[in-house]
Amino acid sequence: MSRPRAQPLIDMRGVGVSRSGRWLVQGVDLVIRPGEIVTLIGPNGSGKTTTAKTAVGILKPDSGRVDRARDLVVGYVPQKLAIDRSLPMRVARMMTLTTKAGAGAVEAALDRVGIAHLARAQVHDLSGGEFQRALLARAMLRRPDLLVLDEPVQGVDFSGEIALYELISELRDSEGCAVLLISHDLHVVMAKTDRVICLNGHVCCEGSPSSVAASPAYRQLFGDRAAEALAVYRHHHDHTHLPGGEISYPARHDHDDGDGYAHGHRHGDGPCSHAHGTTREADAAGRPGDADEADARAVEDHHA
Ligand SMILES: Nc1ncnc2c1ncn2[C@@H]1O[C@H](COP(=O)(O)OP(=O)(O)OP(=O)(O)O)[C@@H](O)[C@H]1O
């Protein structure tokens, strides 16, 4: 699965897609290297799905070119699924609708995303977060070089959203796959994202989450308020969930509750305003030693 860094999995240059005489996207450059997490953001209709579909070969470009690594295996979780969730179907069955896999592999994949206990559950009984995990597990069954996730946090509440982003970055680390993530949610960009590409029919700007948030093109597109609402989340692996449901804390940890200052506490010591196990990387202007995040702005999230 690991390929030399010099060889991109996807290399799009000047790509345009046109329908009915209208350019849906134009002049898009997108390079995805092995193990990278690249996030496409942009308003509704800005061409994120079109770009992702063109990257993986579902759509053909009308201009420019797309090069893909030889034998590239893609795990694609589309935004809209052709699965009628109201029909009776067990989770384990859904896993093998599009990919051949034995019962052991299905069980392992569900276990990997934390829902092994739901293998025999009905798909229509799953919560939004569980359903997204099942789709992730199904995509991982293919052992992809590149995982493409179109709006993976749809139908997921705020803390579930953070947990899903965590899971995605853990899968990247353990499986070594690259991830192309699509989001129109400007409030949260996972901290593990290597690069954000901001689209609006063309690439407006690109870079680390914090540099994109600070860029004039991003601010022009989404406004200063949106730029300030971009929060970058970090996870501190500070505790272990024991089989009996108890939580073990090996040591105190430092975190930032959004006031710009890190301080130590443990869950259970008192009120903890952030989602379980996750802290917000707030206004890094006041945080020394994190140059990459230097321009990050974070304000109270709009989900609270
Ligand atoms: N087959 C098609 N024919 C004509 N127009 C299309 C087609 N597919 C997409 N479009 C249009 O292209 C534009 C980009 O669509 P796309 O789905 O790529 O945007 P998006 O950024 O993913 O949007 P969203 O955040 O709403 O999912 C939209 O205006 C859409 O209506």
30: CATH? 3.40.50.300
Query: Does any ligand 1 atom lie closer than 6 A to the CB of residue 20?
Result: yes
**Residue 100 within a domain:** yes
Distances (CA, A) of 242 to 13, 74, 171, 239: 49, 34, 21, 9
Going by alpha carbons, the residue nearest to atom 30 of ligand 1 is 45
> Do 162 and 215 share a domain, yes or no?
yes
The CA distance from 199 to 40, in Å, is 7
Q: Would the CB of 48 count as within 6 Å of ligand 1?
A: yes
Q: What is the pLDDT of residue 153?
A: 83
* pLDDT value for 119: 95
> What is the average pLDDT across 149-167?
85
- Phi, psi at residue 189, to the nearest 5°? -125, 125
Co-location of 152 and 202 in the same domain: yes
Same domain, yes or no, for 242 and 211?
no
Domain annotation covers residue 241: yes
- pLDDT band at residue 173 under the 50/70/90 scheme: very high
pLDDT at residue 14 in the model:
97
Angle at 62 between CA 58 and CA 68, to 5 degrees: 50
Instruction: Flag whether 300 is in a domain.
Output: no
Distance from C-alpha of 234 to C-alpha of 191, rounded to nearest angstrom: 6
Q: Does 111 reside within a domain? A: yes
Q: How far apart are CA 203 and CA 190, in angstroms?
A: 20
Q: Quick one: CA dihedral 78, 80, 83, 87, positive or negative?
A: positive
Instruction: Place 297 in a pLDDT band, splitting at 50, 70 and 90.
Output: very low
Q: Is 19 in the pocket of ligand 1 (CB under 6 A)?
A: yes
Work out the pLDDT band at 286, boundaries 50, 70, 90: very low
Given pLDDT bands bounded at 50, 70 and 90, which one contains residue 212? confident
Q: Are residues 145 and 72 in the same domain?
A: yes
Q: Are 188 and 122 found together in one domain?
A: no
What is residue 180's predicted lDDT score, i.e. its pLDDT?
96
Are 150 and 33 in a shared domain?
A: yes
Mark whether 39 and 102 lie in a shared domain: no
pLDDT at residue 22, as a whole number = 94
Q: State in Å: Cα 10 to ligand 1 middle.
A: 21
Please check the confidence at residue 86 and state whether its pLDDT lies above 60. Answer: yes
- Cα 178-233-281 angle, rounded to 5 deg: 130
Nearest to 136 by CA among 78, 218, 194, 83: 78
Q: Look at ligand 1, atom 24, and give the residue with the nearest C-alpha.
A: 44
Please tell me whether residues 53 and 191 are part of one structural domain.
Answer: yes
> What residue numbers bound the domain in which 120 lies?
83-137
Our CA dihedral for 85, 138, 35, 298, rounded to 10 degrees, sits at: 30
Judge if the beta carbon of residue 117 lies within 6 A of ligand 1: no
Q: Whose CA is nearest to atom 28 of ligand 1?
A: 45
**Position 169, amino acid:** S
Q: Which atom of ligand 1 is nearest to the CA of 42?
A: 21
Question: Is 64 inside a domain boundary?
Answer: yes
Measured CA to CA, the distance from residue 129 to residue 259 in angstroms comes to 29
Strands 37-41, 178-183: pairing is: parallel
Q: Which two tokens stand for residue 167?
A: 């899971």
Q: Structure tokens of 304?
A: 């609270």
Token look-up 């406004």 returns 223
Q: Please tell me whether residue 167 adopts helix, strand or coil conformation.
A: helix
Count of domains observed in the chain: 3
Are 147 and 203 contained in the same domain? yes
Tell me the whole-structure pTM to 2 decimals.
0.75
Is the C-beta atom of 201 inside 6 A of ligand 1? no
Residue 250 lies in a domain: yes
